[in-house]
Structure 1
Amino acid sequence: MKPYPLLFQPEMKERVWGGRALEQFGLELPDGPIGEGWMIGDHPNGTTKVANGEWAGLGLDQIREQYGREIFGSKGFSEKNGRFPLLIKLLDCQDDLSVQVHPNDHYERLPEGELGKTEMWYVLDAKPGAKIIYGLNEGVTREQLAEAIAQNRVLDCLREISVEPGDSFYIPAGTVHALGAGILVAEIQQNSDSTYRLYDYNRMGLDGKPRELHIEDSLNVIAYEGSGATYMKTDLAAANQWLALAESPFFITEKGQVDRPWKLHTNGDSFVIHIICDGTGELSWADGTIAVKRGECYLIPANLGQYTLSGSMTVLRSYLP
């Protein structure tokens, strides 16, 4: 079967901090506060199914099993568990998220087959005054943080940053972080659902019970000497050029503005993921053309070869290093 750009039916996740903002992308949401749309996923906690073309109805796990090497590329598998290596999400934060940290691949208390979690955020929208927590204040040690937790003053140890649409944050494993209320983000991450909560504002979960904290694991995996986290404004100097947002051992993510036909290509090493951040346009390849719009996330097969983006839109491009 000839390869083509794959669009998936998202897996929606109810979260105590979520809302209904993902409806603005034309997505169908179940009832309740929806915090996460898993747009491209191959994980035991959520596997997306193809929504377009001849492979419609196949899960990403089935694509992996039947056509993985051709579609994902020679680098396109996790060395640890053999799965698709990335998880692509849209997050709607109507309330503050828990203060959390993620382990790396080598943490000995990870569940069998689970990966660590290095990720990045691209801010699609943010209400005036919206903020995130992004790392510890300078000089905070494990002992000082543990004492602050015991005394219920952990927020005194955390760095807070105001955010605007277009901001980009790279969040390596070991970075303490939390999205704040009023923020909509695209998230590119390792294919992992490993999160350790450090603090959750004494909040009740969807079941009416206090949400679980993971203090010991959090203290174990935090990078107290710095994780390599970076953030940036992403104003583009010109159209049809890529601006590097994140370069990690697990993914590279770039931003570009399409305003005229832009010829691109894949090779056999890696798939490419495009997230349409705003605007509309078309994605064309040798065998077809599809209309694309804001909020859609496409998996471009490693063996597709040449393709073209056209129209007027801002896109993210992610691939494996």
Structure 2
Amino acid sequence: MKMKFYPLTFTPILKDRIWGGTKLKTYLSKPIVSETTGESWEISTVPGDISVVNNGVFEGKNINEIISLYPKEILGNASIKRFGNEFPLLFKFLDAKEDLSIQLHPNDELAKKRHNSFGKTEMWYVMQADESSRLIVGLKKEVTQSEYLHYLENNKIVDLLHEYPAQKGDVFFIETGTIHAIGAGVVLAEIQQTSDITYRIYDWDRVDVSGNKRVLHTDLALDAINYKPVDSKIAYEEEANKSVNLVNCPYFTTNMIALHEHYSWKRKKDAFTVLMCTNGQFELILNGEIMHYRMGDTILIPACIAGFILKGKATLLEISI
């Protein structure tokens, strides 16, 4: 019998963080049990954190298992051509009750050489922001490595960094090498390469429950940093029932669908698509079957699914490679 493929959802992988809170439960209905949950990994193939399907006939199987059985149907030829049978992206929701560390990520070349990993190009979509919350992205001015170290060693690195007020709907594209931090009071969706390599350069001098400071990666960061300012904030115009482009990069393309009542979705290339619901609720109608989703849901559309109907009022991020 021919396999019937369908939209896949996964059990969230929840991560406690020193800076985390409870909004992933109160705002996104994630099943958190601690007061310091910072991340919900929605779809992951990071070793040790492999997502497990929680719906349909594949329920209980992890994403790597179903890809090994049906690589073309799940990933699509366009993804396989570039990334083999590896799922190339990692999807998260983050809740920053406190400021995250000031950090950056290495590029592919450096990450491969040092960690046998992909680099970490990423993007943010702000879902909720408390009053006076902010995001830190990039340098205010170009500096030399020695100037950067002077700021860092004198505890003045924040003076060198560009702060943006955070507002719902803001989009930021964070290229490798860009110094950045998510500020307290922000919930966001994050799309990134499959990588968990972070170089932490400053952590606000805070300590954990045992009184220990977190490890910094000052030396590793030096040849990974982009010492020039970058314009990381993405301007866009939302349009009802249209797929509006937000980010195009070598690793992923992200569009926004502002769903108002009805949208006919059609596959754009021979590759998987992921939908992240950042607001509202909707129905997905495939071959007469109706599936219900809401804010905080992340759905993997296998590459072999050509199209379906969306109904409802919701904001969706539409991601492919």
TM value normalised by structure 1: 0.94
Q: CA deviation at 1:141?
A: 2.0
1:214 corresponds in structure 2 to 217
Conservation of the 8 A alpha-carbon contact between 1:125 and 1:165? yes
Conservation of the 8 A alpha-carbon contact between 1:239 and 1:259? yes
Q: Deviations over 1:77-128 (max 9, x none)?
A: 595785210000000000000000001110064312x110000000000001
Q: Deviations over 1:229-276 (max 9, x none)?
A: 52135451x311122111110001111211132111226621011011
2:58 corresponds in structure 1 to 55
Please tell me whether residue 303 in structure 1 is matched to residue 276 in structure 2: no
1:127 corresponds in structure 2 to 130
Distance 1:202 1:150, change over 3 A: same
- Give the whole-Å Cα distance in 1 for the aligned partners of 2:22 and 2:241: 33
The farther-off stretch of 208-217 and 89-98 is: 208-217
Pick from 52, 77, 80: which aligns with 1:74?
77
Q: CA deviation at 1:20?
A: 0.8
- Give the whole-Å Cα distance in 2 for the aligned partners of 1:30 and 1:49: 19
- Give the whole-Å Cα distance in 2 for the aligned partners of 1:215 and 1:48: 32
1:239 corresponds in structure 2 to 240
Figure out how many residues of one structure are paired with residues of the other and give that number.
317
SS across alignment from 2:206: coil
- Give the whole-Å Cα distance in 1 for the aligned partners of 2:213 and 2:51: 30
- Give the whole-Å Cα distance in 2 for the aligned partners of 1:290 and 1:84: 24
1:198 corresponds in structure 2 to 201
- Give the whole-Å Cα distance in 1 for the aligned partners of 2:306 and 2:83: 28
- Give the whole-Å Cα distance in 2 for the aligned partners of 1:254 and 1:261: 17
Q: CA deviation at 1:31?
A: 2.4
Q: Deviations over 1:173-216 (max 9, x none)?
A: 11100000000000000011000001001111355421000011
Specify the code of the residue in structure 1 equivalent to 2:314: M
1:87 corresponds in structure 2 to 90
Pick from 14, 17, 20: which aligns with 2:16?
14
2:164 corresponds in structure 1 to 161
2:183 corresponds in structure 1 to 180
Conservation of the 8 A alpha-carbon contact between 2:121 and 2:193? yes
Please tell me whether residue 36 in structure 1 is matched to residue 39 in structure 2: yes
TM value normalised by structure 2: 0.94
Distance 1:242 1:268, change over 3 A: closer
- Give the whole-Å Cα distance in 1 for the aligned partners of 2:66 and 2:50: 11
- Give the whole-Å Cα distance in 2 for the aligned partners of 1:159 and 1:265: 39
Distance 1:41 1:229, change over 3 A: farther
1:111 corresponds in structure 2 to 115
1:293 corresponds in structure 2 to 294
Conservation of the 8 A alpha-carbon contact between 2:284 and 2:309? yes
Specify the code of the residue in structure 1 equivalent to 2:259: V
- Give the whole-Å Cα distance in 2 for the aligned partners of 1:68 and 1:127: 42
SS across alignment from 1:54: helix
Conservation of the 8 A alpha-carbon contact between 1:266 and 1:301? no
Specify the code of the residue in structure 1 equivalent to 2:261: R
Conservation of the 8 A alpha-carbon contact between 2:135 and 2:164? yes
Q: CA deviation at 1:225?
A: 3.2
Structure 1 gaps of 5+ residues are none
- Give the whole-Å Cα distance in 1 for the aligned partners of 2:257 and 2:223: 38
- Give the whole-Å Cα distance in 2 for the aligned partners of 1:81 and 1:204: 41
Conservation of the 8 A alpha-carbon contact between 1:166 and 1:233? no
Conservation of the 8 A alpha-carbon contact between 1:137 and 1:159? yes
Q: CA deviation at 1:287?
A: 5.6
Structure 2 gaps of 5+ residues are none
Distance 1:81 1:143, change over 3 A: farther
Specify the code of the residue in structure 2 equivalent to 1:176: I
The farther-off stretch of 58-67 and 178-187 is: 58-67
- Give the whole-Å Cα distance in 2 for the aligned partners of 1:78 and 1:193: 23
Conservation of the 8 A alpha-carbon contact between 1:93 and 1:181? yes
Q: CA deviation at 1:147?
A: 1.4
Distance 1:134 1:66, change over 3 A: same
Pick from 59, 67, 74: which aligns with 1:64?
67
SS across alignment from 1:145: helix
Query: How big is the alpha-carbon RMSD for the aligned residues of Structure 1 and Structure 2?
Result: 1.8
Sequence identity percentage: 35
Pick from 141, 145, 148: which aligns with 1:145?
148
